[in-house]
Structure 1
Amino acid sequence: MALILGLPTDGLPVTGMTMSSFEALQAECLDQFGVAPCKKECRGCCIKLTWLRDLKENLQLTDEISIRRYVKCHIMLLIGMILFGDKSGAAVHSKFLPLLRDFGSIGQYSWGSACLAHLYRVLCRASRFNCKKIDGPLTLLLGWAWIRLPYLSPLPRKPRSFSLANRYLTLSHFRKAFDELREGQFVWAAYSMDRVDPNIIPLEIYMQSVIWSATVPLVSFECIEWHATDRIRRQFSFVQGVPNQEQNLDKAHGKVLTSPKNLNWATALTHSYWVMHWTNRYNHVLSEVPMPSQYPLEYYMDWY
């Protein structure tokens, strides 16, 4: 999240109150943008992206207030289009707006972990046999896949047959490639100096790297997903042993906002424990002396 999209990964959990009333949505927009959408410019508790886009384009940047409104519009568009998009691709949930009230505190939230929680959730749903579409931060997913599995990246190749689009390979090719994946084809140390020029990544990105290996819940309002770093220890230059029993998120997993919910997810009975677990994330960082070998232990392979 930090290296691919540049999002902060440490900080406050992205959570809080969700309100189902249209009047509350209008009041929040009026307070932050100086203007409120009408009902046709919304979809339930979501604000249509066209309204935000028009507002952003028509703002006159004459003072600090208008500049902040412009930036908030841009952030909401990023949230709705790239970071937390839904399958419609047409609206963004208003639950994120209260987190933008204090302009100076916007960067103090762990937007990276929340976005990753959203990706895990949509991947979980996409794995079901009756799922036909996928949404969420697909820019992140594709970037991750192309970095970790370079042979998947869309590099033009000489076409082997007509049509010329075959130069980009077909779905059957990728399925076969996954089936035949071998040791060494997956890049564990994807951001090492021999793969990424250290001058490309700003030093401040690494300031939060201490918690990248934390085995914790990822929090994004109703969405709780588990960050199972104990199953990808090789990514952090550790030897991969047999991981712990998978975490049971119980009733917190699978919660949705498809129906009206006036609820503070930070203190909700099903979520408060996991929010507190995130707050104690520094106590759950993987600690081990990095090993030069990137090969898994034999007993791990037996377990696998």
Structure 2
Amino acid sequence: MVENYLRSTRFYHVSRTGVIRGFHPLLAALVERWRPEIHTFVLPVGKVTMTLEDVAHIFGLPIDGEPVSGWIDCSADFLQSQSIAIFSREPIVSHSSKSYIKLGWVRRIKDAEPLDTEESIRRYVRCQIFYLLGSTLFTDKSTAYAHAKYLPLLRDFERIHTYSWGSACLAHLYRALCRTSRYDTKEMDGPLNLLFIWAWDQMSCIALVSTQTLPPAEIPVAMRWSHSERTTAWLSKTVAKFRHDIDYM
């Protein structure tokens, strides 16, 4: 029964990829080639960009279905009622913004679920999905909290898998890249796992490991990178080095 519920979400495996950190030089080399007006990287070899098909392959996310949209209510009553409906508990929120729920708290709830009843299984899956939304698909700069606006999308358990999560994830990445390409922006949020894995697959010259040493690609492709044997050599690569590798690939 547990496997059936997990499989119905179609993207629970994404959590194993984790959040990729420490790639600021590569990120800078990519962002400076992003053109917001056409949502495309302009490289010496031509113009390339991420597509919905890339999102489906890398994360295993559905790209067809209902749009991920809805209304936002930042009131305390909304947050409490939604949290009790989804997690069966009052939420632990950010001190600076009461609309953000602490992901560590959600993870502890998930890990404590006994999975001995249908309701426990559903609560486990909802926690897992909400954690993915905040830590992987729609991350903000804190990476420790997720906005409560996603909670209503998880209430109807039978509809969770019908949303086009892949389309929303790609749109979120496009918007993050456009914001970051401004001269006065110093940080970037968004699904960086998607960006880096796409770049490594498309431009092997900047990959952190040789693609020949990776296991065969299966959907989600992100899984093959999450278990790769990595060295620390890439830590010494500078923005100038990544620029050179991209220019002469």
- Contact (CA 8 Å) 2:102, 2:146: kept in 1 or not? yes
Which SS does the other structure have where 2:146 is aligned? strand
Q: How many angstroms apart in 2 are the aligned matches of 1:137 and 1:166? A: 21
Q: Is 1:2 the equivalent of 2:70?
A: no
Letter matched to residue 82 of structure 2 = E
The 5 Å alignment of 1:265-304 reads none
* 1:168-215: CA deviation from partner (whole Å, max 9, x where unpaired): 64321111233x25xxx5xxxxxxxxxxxxxxxxxxxxxxxxxxxxxx
What is the Cα deviation at residue 46 of structure 1? 1.1
The 5 Å alignment of 1:195-274 reads none
**1:24 alignment partner in structure 2:** 78
- Give the total of aligned pairs: 174
Closer, same or farther in 2 for the Cα pair 1:60/1:97, shift >3 Å? Answer: same
- Contact (CA 8 Å) 2:93, 2:102: kept in 1 or not? no
- Contact (CA 8 Å) 1:30, 1:36: kept in 2 or not? yes
Q: How many angstroms apart in 2 are the aligned matches of 1:167 and 1:67? A: 41
Q: Is 1:68 the equivalent of 2:122?
A: yes
What is the Cα deviation at residue 106 of structure 1? 0.5
Residue among 143, 146, 151 paired with 2:200: 146
- Contact (CA 8 Å) 1:81, 1:89: kept in 2 or not? yes
Q: How many angstroms apart in 2 are the aligned matches of 1:87 and 1:38? A: 19
Identity %: 47
What runs of 5+ residues in structure 1 fail to find an aligned partner?
Answer: 157-163, 186-304
TM-score between the two structures when normalised by the length of structure 2: 0.65
Structure with the greater alpha carbon radius of gyration:
1
Closer, same or farther in 2 for the Cα pair 1:115/1:92, shift >3 Å? Answer: same
Greater helix fraction, Structure 1 or Structure 2: 2
- Contact (CA 8 Å) 1:7, 1:111: kept in 2 or not? yes
RMSD across aligned positions (CA): 2.0
**1:170 alignment partner in structure 2:** 238
- Contact (CA 8 Å) 2:67, 2:163: kept in 1 or not? yes
Residue among 148, 163, 176 paired with 1:94: 148
* 1:88-139: CA deviation from partner (whole Å, max 9, x where unpaired): 1110011111111111111100000000011001101110111111111011
- Contact (CA 8 Å) 2:92, 2:101: kept in 1 or not? no
**Highest RCO, 1 vs 2 (Cα 8 Å, sep ≥ 6):** 2
* 1:257-292: CA deviation from partner (whole Å, max 9, x where unpaired): xxxxxxxxxxxxxxxxxxxxxxxxxxxxxxxxxxxx
**2:225 alignment partner in structure 1:** none
Residue among 167, 172, 177 paired with 1:113: 167
- Contact (CA 8 Å) 1:4, 1:140: kept in 2 or not? yes
Q: How many angstroms apart in 1 are the aligned matches of 2:97 and 2:80? A: 12
* 1:47-104: CA deviation from partner (whole Å, max 9, x where unpaired): 1112111211222222000110011000011010000010011100111111111111
Letter matched to residue 238 of structure 2 = T
**1:81 alignment partner in structure 2:** 135
Letter matched to residue 22 of structure 1 = A
Closer, same or farther in 2 for the Cα pair 1:39/1:96, shift >3 Å? Answer: closer
- Contact (CA 8 Å) 2:173, 2:190: kept in 1 or not? yes
TM-score between the two structures when normalised by the length of structure 1: 0.54
**2:113 alignment partner in structure 1:** 59
Q: How many angstroms apart in 1 are the aligned matches of 2:94 and 2:178? A: 32
Letter matched to residue 96 of structure 1 = Y
Q: How many angstroms apart in 1 are the aligned matches of 2:76 and 2:123? A: 21
Q: How many angstroms apart in 2 are the aligned matches of 1:173 and 1:38? A: 43
Closer, same or farther in 2 for the Cα pair 1:33/1:71, shift >3 Å? Answer: same
Which SS does the other structure have where 1:92 is aligned? strand
Q: How many angstroms apart in 2 are the aligned matches of 1:21 and 1:35? A: 17
Closer, same or farther in 2 for the Cα pair 1:83/1:37, shift >3 Å? Answer: same
- Contact (CA 8 Å) 1:12, 1:108: kept in 2 or not? yes
Which SS does the other structure have where 1:146 is aligned? helix
